[in-house]
Each structure stands twice: as C-alpha cells, then as structure tokens.
C-alpha cells in the first residue's frame, strides 16, 4: 500500500498540505461558461465563488432547491461586487437551474436543457453534489439515497452530459475565428479518498445469495444497511464507475477531459448534517481538528476543472496533482467489480437511457 492510501498519509495531507488558491494573475476565465452541481452550499458554493473571482463570464448553479440556489446566487454576486471583477460591464451571468439527483427524469431534463439552450457553450462541469446519511433513507424511487445520489445519479449526469460537451466543443471549433482553437471541455467529478476504506460487503452478500441477487438490491435492504460504511461504499462505487466509464469512451472521437477529484476531509459543509446529538458534536470536533475549510477544499475542484488540463484525463487528483489510485480499484478483483457494477448500472438505467448508445455519441 502506498503512503498516499494509508491513514497516516491521510492525516499527513490533512494537517500539512494546503492546496494552493488559484488567482486571477495566473488564470482568466473571461468568456467561459461553467456548471457546478450542489453549488448552493459547501464545496460547490466556494468553488463557484472562486471561479467567479477568476472572471468567469457565465455560471450555472445546478441545485435541487432553487430557493436556496437563488440565495446562493445573491450571496455570490454580493461577494464578487466587493471587488472590481464583479462590477459594471464585468458583471457575470449567474443562473440557477434545477436538478434533483434523486429523480432520473429531472437529470435527463437538465441535460436536455444544457443541450438545447441557444448559444450555450459549456467549458467545464463540476459534478459536486453528494450526500452522506447515517440512517437508512430511501429516495423517491426506492433506492437508498446515498447510493442513489453519489453513484447512480452522478453516473447518469456524467454519461448524459459528456456527449453534449463534446458536441458543443466541435461546434465551437467550427465557428472559431482568428485561428483560435478552444480548449477541450472538462467534466470533473468529485470523488473521495474514503473509497480506499470501503468494506463493501454488499457485493459478497449479493453473490452468496440463493439465488444470487444484485448488489443494488442488497444496498437497498434496510436490514443490511451499514451506516459507518455506506458513504465510503458510495464513493468506491463512483470510483469504479469512473474507471469503467473512461475506459469505455470512444477515444478516437472524445475530446472531453474527464477527471476525478478528491477535495480532502472538510468542515463547513452540510454533507454530514444527518449526524446529530452527542455523536454529531464529537464528529464536528474531529472535523475541526483535522479538517480543511470548505474554501480550501474547493480549491481542488477549481484546479481540476480549469487548471489540470487534458493530461489528467482518466486520472485521480488529490491536492491538485495526479495521485495513486486506491489499492482495490487497480487490482484484478477491482477491475472485475467495476465491470460487474457497470452491468448493474446499465440495468438500473435501462428505462431511462441506452448507456452504450449514449456513450457512442461523438457530437459529429
């Protein structure tokens, strides 16, 4: 096991490594458009603030609750207006678009809106929205909500938005003037190093059933819910999806940079808001002791989306650099698990999209 993936390595990075703030002197996002999901609070909010400070011209806040999204929009613009970047003719266009990651129809509708909005050319998307529940809570469709949000729906977002970015990029290249070639678009997915610590017993339980059942079915079984491992497992499933997703992209016709970003353990977000009482107080103290602020953690999201570049396609980033993969995912067993979970994802989404058909879309 590499030091990066040990508990000591985690603590070392948390206590002694601080991701650098990207400043307007090094990066200008003038004329660019970005989308950030889960942007009304926490990491998504602070990433949005930092992106606007870099001169981003158009920002789409993709949120479940548009009322909270509008409050975030007002706050972001108020903060920006304290500097010269947010005043007068440089005022950015900040929009609030609804998307509910517990509702496949909402996700498809959001993707269609990105595709069909006139004169919209998205330069990057940060898929940041996520939840952590320490009690079993079903989503409206019956799937456990942490699995639904962090794995299934984030995967659907990535699968549907990637070809839209590709098509918009091709169109931008066709209409480019003065020999200016636009930079490839970026689809940056927020993962987590906690995938390294996932137990993921549900896969073994599913395989040992008589008859065998699906892993999704086991994950949706209230009696088999492990509150201490569920968030970790959701991020492992997202990581396995990411690797399979990238491997299945049409490499000859895909220009979209897809990377996976670890922001580190952060305090100041609402991710763990379901932990209450004495346990919540203890957990909050631990977060304060070793956690990064969400402002610092958000720097890694900005880096992955607007700095990292095409050399990070298919890579896992931590502390603003390419990092080693979690031990399990690069083993033969991990590869097999990724393949199996891709099949389950395809079956889960069958009524919504044809994954293989969407994956083959080139935008031409």
Q: Cβ–Cβ contacts within 10 Å for residue 273, how many?
A: 13
Residue 138 CA, distance from chain mean position: 21
Catalytic residue among 45, 231, 267, 316: 231
Catalytic residue among 45, 169, 232, 235: 235
CA separation for the pair 114, 334 (Å, rounded):
34
Residue 149: Cβ-neighbour burial (10 angstroms; 0-12, 13-18, 19+): buried
- How many residues are present in the chain? 364
CB 214 within 8 A of CB 152: no
Is 235 catalytic? The answer is: yes
Q: Dump the DSSP string for 293-314.
A: EHHHHHHHHHHHHHTS-GGGTT
Token pair, residue 31, equals: 């004329």
CA separation for the pair 319, 18 (Å, rounded):
7
Positions annotated as catalytic residues are 231, 235
């Amino acid at each position: 096991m590499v030091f990066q993936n040990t508990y000591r390595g985690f603590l070392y990075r948390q206590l002694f490594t601080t991701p650098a703030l990207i400043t307007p002197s090094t990066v200008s996002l003038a004329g660019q458009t970005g989308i950030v999901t889960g942007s009304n609070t926490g990491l998504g909010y602070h990433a949005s603030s930092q992106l606007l400070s870099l001169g981003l011209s158009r920002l789409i806040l993709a949120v479940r609750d548009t009322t909270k999204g509008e409050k975030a929009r007002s706050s972001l613009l108020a903060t920006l207006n304290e500097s010269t970047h947010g005043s007068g003719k440089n005022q950015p266009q900040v929009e609030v678009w609804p998307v509910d990651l517990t509702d496949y129809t909402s996700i498809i509708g959001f993707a269609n809106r990105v595709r069909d909005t006139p004169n919209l050319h998205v330069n990057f998307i940060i898929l940041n929205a996520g939840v952590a529940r320490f009690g079993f809570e079903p989503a409206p469709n019956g799937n456990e909500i942490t699995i639904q949000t962090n794995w299934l729906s984030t995967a659907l977002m990535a699968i549907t938005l990637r070809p839209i970015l590709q098509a918009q990029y091709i169109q931008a290249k066709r209409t480019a003037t003065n020999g200016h070639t636009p930079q490839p678009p970026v689809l940056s997915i927020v993962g987590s190093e906690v995938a390294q610590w996932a137990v993921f017993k549900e896969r073994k339980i599913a395989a040992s059933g008589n008859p065998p059942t699906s892993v999704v079915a086991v994950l949706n079984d209230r009696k088999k819910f492990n509150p201490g491992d569920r968030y970790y497992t959701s991020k492992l499933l997202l990581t396995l999806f990411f690797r399979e997703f990238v491997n299945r992209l049409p490499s000859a016709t895909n220009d979209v940079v897809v990377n996976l970003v670890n922001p580190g353990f952060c305090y100041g977000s609402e991710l763990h808001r379901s932990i209450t009482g004495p346990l919540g107080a203890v957990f909050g103290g631990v977060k304060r002791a070793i956690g990064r602020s969400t402002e610092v953690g958000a720097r890694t999201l900005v880096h992955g989306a607007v700095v990292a570049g095409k050399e990070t396609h298919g890579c896992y980033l931590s502390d603003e650099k390419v990092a080693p993969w979690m031990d399990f995912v690069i083993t033969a067993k991990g590869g097999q698990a990724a393949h199996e979970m891709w099949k389950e994802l395809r079956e889960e989404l069958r009524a919504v999209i044809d994954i293989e058909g969407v994956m083959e879309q080139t935008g031409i």
